[in-house]
């Protein structure tokens, strides 16, 4: 053990990156299950800034997505929300997320949580060969996607079965836009927040306009 870490316990920190437009119970169940199964001290939700793979659609302003994430996680003492991605100018790349969090938490162990749809994309991410030094990756099942780890480094990736939630943000946005109920797909406070600012209505009045 290095002298400067003597007596300190390395915390185990989960990191759940996402657009969270909006955050829904699929995200929350996955984070909660990984927290429990991996004995994590904390799970940090990190809403993205602009994303390289989502530039083709109108994403809600970061401040709205951040606040929905805060509302959804507020009641869980092990959940927190980080602004590192939304405060960093430019596109969000996970390597930058992990480097920024590593500076804040130099001695802690990181577990980056992703759904089965994201897992096969990781090898194409910026500086993907360096991701594994910064975090262990945990892939969770997601309805409609098979949980495959082909090509991923075996030692750095674990797959975990979580209660399957057939919910996506895309579906929540479509439902709200069409006047179909979204109750119970997202936390009540998030439904109310979406309605308050008309986030996915045909006419939108977001809290903060996009920079």
Q: Point out which residues bind ligand ATP (CB under 6 A).
A: 18-21, 26-27, 30, 114-115, 117-118, 140, 142, 165, 167-170
User: DSSP class of residue 91?
Assistant: B
Helix (H) or strand (E) holding 79: strand 79-81
Minimum distance, C-beta of residue 105 to ligand ATP, in the bound complex (Å): 20
Distances from the Cα of 109 to the Cα of 11, 28, 57, 78, 116, angstroms = 6, 21, 34, 15, 22
Minimum distance, C-beta of residue 190 to ligand ATP, in the bound complex (Å): 13
User: Bridge partners of 111?
Assistant: 14, 136
Minimum distance, C-beta of residue 42 to ligand ATP, in the bound complex (Å): 17
- Alpha helices, DSSP H only, in 39-196? 62-73, 84-87, 94-104, 128-134, 169-178, 188-196
Nearer to ligand ATP, 3 or 25 (CB): 25
Nearer to ligand ATP, 27 or 35 (CB): 27
Instruction: Report residue 57 as tokens.
Output: 């659609």
Nearer to ligand ATP, 5 or 140 (CB): 140
Nearer to ligand ATP, 167 or 191 (CB): 167
Minimum distance, C-beta of residue 1 to ligand ATP, in the bound complex (Å): 33
Minimum distance, C-beta of residue 115 to ligand ATP, in the bound complex (Å): 2
The closest residue (CB) to ligand ATP is 115
User: Bridge partners of 14?
Assistant: 43, 111
Residue 110, SS3? strand
Nearer to ligand ATP, 158 or 168 (CB): 168
């Amino acid at each position: 053990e290095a002298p400067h870490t003597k007596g300190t316990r390395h915390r185990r920190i989960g990191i759940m990156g996402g657009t969270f437009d909006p955050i829904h119970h699929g995200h929350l169940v996955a984070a909660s299950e990984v927290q429990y199964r991996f004995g994590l001290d904390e799970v940090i939700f990190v809403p993205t800034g602009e994303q390289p793979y989502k530039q083709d659609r109108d994403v809600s302003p970061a401040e709205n997505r951040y606040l929905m994430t805060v509302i959804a996680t507020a009641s869980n003492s092990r959940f927190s929300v980080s602004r590192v991605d939304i405060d960093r100018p430019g596109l969000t790349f996970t390597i930058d997320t992990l480097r920024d969090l590593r500076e804040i938490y130099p001695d802690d162990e990181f577990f980056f949580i992703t759904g089965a749809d994201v897992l096969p994309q990781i090898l194409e991410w910026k500086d993907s060969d360096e991701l594994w030094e910064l975090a262990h990756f945990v892939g969770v099942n997601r309805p409609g996607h098979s949980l495959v780890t082909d090509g991923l480094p075996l030692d750095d990736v674990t797959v975990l079965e979580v209660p399957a939630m057939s919910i996506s943000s895309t579906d929540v946005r479509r439902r709200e836009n069409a006047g179909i109920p979204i109750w119970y797909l997202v936390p009540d406070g998030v439904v109310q927040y979406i309605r308050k600012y008309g986030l996915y209505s045909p006419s939108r009045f977001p809290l903060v306009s996009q920079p």
